[in-house]
Structure 1
Amino acid sequence: MRLLAGTSGFSYKEWLGAFYPDDLSAKGMLAHYATRLPIVEINNTFYRMPNTAAIQGWRSQVPDSFRFAIKMPRRISHSKRLKDCGAELSALGTALADLGPTLGSLLVQLPPHARCDETALVAFLSELPEGWRVAFEFRNDSWHVPTVFKKLESRNAALVQSESDETFELKPWTADWAYLRLRRVDYSLEDLERWLERIRASRVAEAHVFFKHEDGATGPKLAAELLAMARGRRAVAP
């Protein structure tokens, strides 16, 4: 099983002196991040469609082995709620093409008030470009039913495993890969070991794991610790 762990976002001045060198500029953060962790979840694509210059800028700063997880624009997930998104998906595909092999996965995060619409889901899945790994985070329980899980399985789409300080429920693993968003403020070594055991027990071939951004750079520290556990050793704090 291949484990890729990182954080949601990378451009945080609060990490200077903890994860980043004190004098590192914002422009140098991604390149430095990519020397320490193998994947990052990009959230600003939720607010606007990424442009070519931004994509090429990201790509130029990371090696071929690095992976980006892209959060789909809110026009798709919130405004249109998966309906009639062919044009948006085409535009997104064009924008992301320059990422090449570094495009790891895409996240569709629906709003809590969006109730299950299996017809829209089936149509949306059929419109996804071949080769995309897409994960769905349904925040309304009406989606968490066997018929939805089977539809995700048919497209090898992942159901996001998410955890916060308030809620957690282990969900079905619907693909041969996994997408996890671990949002608690902190995790003990035992907590991380438990998650690693769950991932291994799922028998997925690859897992993308993202920790929450915290001012004290806890997220990258936890990602490094989980990666070290997967390699069979303990990490030194980044």
Structure 2
Amino acid sequence: MGEHPVYVGCAGWSIPSPHASLFPAEGSHLERYARRLPAVEINSSFYRPHKPETYARWAASVPEGFRFAVKVPKQITHERRLADPADLLDRFLGGVRELGDRLGPLLVQLPPSLAYRRDSAEGFFTLLRDRFDGGIACEPRHPSWFNDGPEALLERFHVARVAADPVAVPGGEAPGGWGGLVYRRLHGSPEIYHTDYGPERLGAVEAAVRGDSRTAPAWCVFDNTALGAAPQNACAVWSGLCLESRNPPRL
């Protein structure tokens, strides 16, 4: 791998029975998952709040070096559409901080209908940065976010723009925003959430992540979970990266 840490994982730590043999047999799903892969993206936080003690329990279940990315609640991104988020951010971050040193970046996924408006984006990221100094990745899906103005704003607030597959907007397949973090989200294509990335495509993902890690900490999250392909795909990429670096995969 490159000079910076690499984190490969899935959107959630469910282990589908067809791929159970990829993971250790003993322990909870999270404990088994975390002995095989170095990271996970908590997507359930998007739909409902979790108690601080839940985050603390999850942190205690994983080995040192494991990292959780956490998705910002839809109340903030989709319902309030970034407006007046202070109370919700305080509640969300109050729980997330219980992950301690296992906390990785926050993921801010925006609805496809949310156009870029400088004032609202600047206000939101100012409030978020006042409260959180860790990694942030933003996944905008409206065309207006993919030009020089939004890129400069994301860079100013040290926010990486997600490189996504499938591409919502031309140019969205490449990382953008702040270059101090690279965050890839692979949702499955051509059928979103369903398609299993084959060996050839996984080889290309592995090469891209290896290149990412030469310049910044690199995340790669598989979200093609509907038919259970994500764990197999993530394990294949992680094993390839570990083999190339002569480091054994986690077990």
TM-score bucket of the superposed structures, by smaller chain: 0.7 to 0.9
Aligned to 1:104: 104
Q: How does 1:84-103 map to 2 (within 5 A)?
A: 84-103=84-103
CA distance 1:208–1:172, change in 2 (3 Å): closer
Matches within 5 A, 1:210-221: 210-214=221-225, 217-221=228-232
Alignment of 1:7-22 (within 5 A): 7-14=10-17, 17-20=20-23
Secondary structure at the counterpart of residue 35 of structure 2: helix
Q: How does 1:1-238 map to 2 (within 5 A)?
A: 1-14=4-17, 17-20=20-23, 28-128=28-128, 129-164=131-166, 169=171, 170-175=173-178, 176-184=180-188, 185-202=195-212, 203-214=214-225, 217-231=228-242, 232=244
What amino acid is aligned across from residue 233 of structure 2 in structure 1? Answer: L
**Could you tell me how far 1:168 is from its partner in structure 2?**
7.0
Count of paired positions: 234
Gaps of 5+ in 1: none
String of CA shifts for 1:72-116, please: whole Å, max 9, x gaps: 111110111111111211222211121001110111111111111
Query: What CA distance in whole angstroms lies between the structure 2 residues aligned with 1:177 and 1:31?
Result: 26
| AA aligned opposite 2:12 | G
Any idea what SS the aligned residue of 1:41 has? strand
**Structure 2 residues without counterparts, runs of 5 or longer:** 189-194
The RMSD of aligned alpha carbons is 2.7
How far apart are 1:193 and its partner, in Å? 3.2
Q: Given that residues 24 and 35 in structure 2 are in contact (C-alpha distance below 8 angstroms), is that contact kept between their aligned partners in structure 1?
A: no
Q: CA deviation at 1:167?
A: 7.8
Identity of aligned residues (%): 30
Deviation at 1:204? 3.1
Helix, strand or coil for the counterpart of 2:48?
coil
**CA 1:42–1:188 in structure 2 vs 1: closer, same or farther (change >3 Å)?**
same
Quick check: 1:18–1:217 contact (8 Å CA) kept in 2? no
Residue 195 of structure 1, CA deviation? 2.8
How far off its partner does 1:153 sit? Answer: 0.7
Alpha carbons of 1:166 and 1:79: their partners in 2 closer, same or farther (altered >3 Å)?
closer
Query: In structure 2, how many angstroms separate the alpha carbons of the residues matched to 1:142 and 1:65?
Result: 37
Please give the TM-score of this superposition, normalised by the length of structure 1.
Answer: 0.86
* Residues 18 and 201 (structure 1), Cα distance of their counterparts in 2 relative to 1, 3 Å cut: closer
Report Cα offsets for 1:52-84 as digits up to 9, x if no partner. 221122112112311001111111101111111
Give, in whole Å, the separation in 1 of the partners of 2:24 and 2:62: 18
C-alpha distance in structure 2 between counterparts of 1:7 and 1:190, whole Å: 19
**Distance in 1 between residues matched to 2:116 and 2:18, nearest whole Å:** 38
8 A Cα contact 2:184 2:219, kept in partner: yes
CA 1:15–1:47 in structure 2 vs 1: closer, same or farther (change >3 Å)?
Answer: farther
Shift of 1:117: 1.7
Q: Retained in 2: the 8 A contact 1:213–1:219?
A: yes
Deviation of 1:162 after TM superposition, in Å, equals: 0.6
Q: CA deviation at 1:14?
A: 4.3
Instruction: Give distance in 1, aligned partners of 2:241 and 2:170.
Output: 22
Shift of the 17–228 alpha-carbon distance from structure 1 to 2, 3 Å rule, reads closer
- 1:32–1:137 distance in 2 versus 1, CA, 3 Å: same
Secondary structure, aligned partner of 1:227: helix
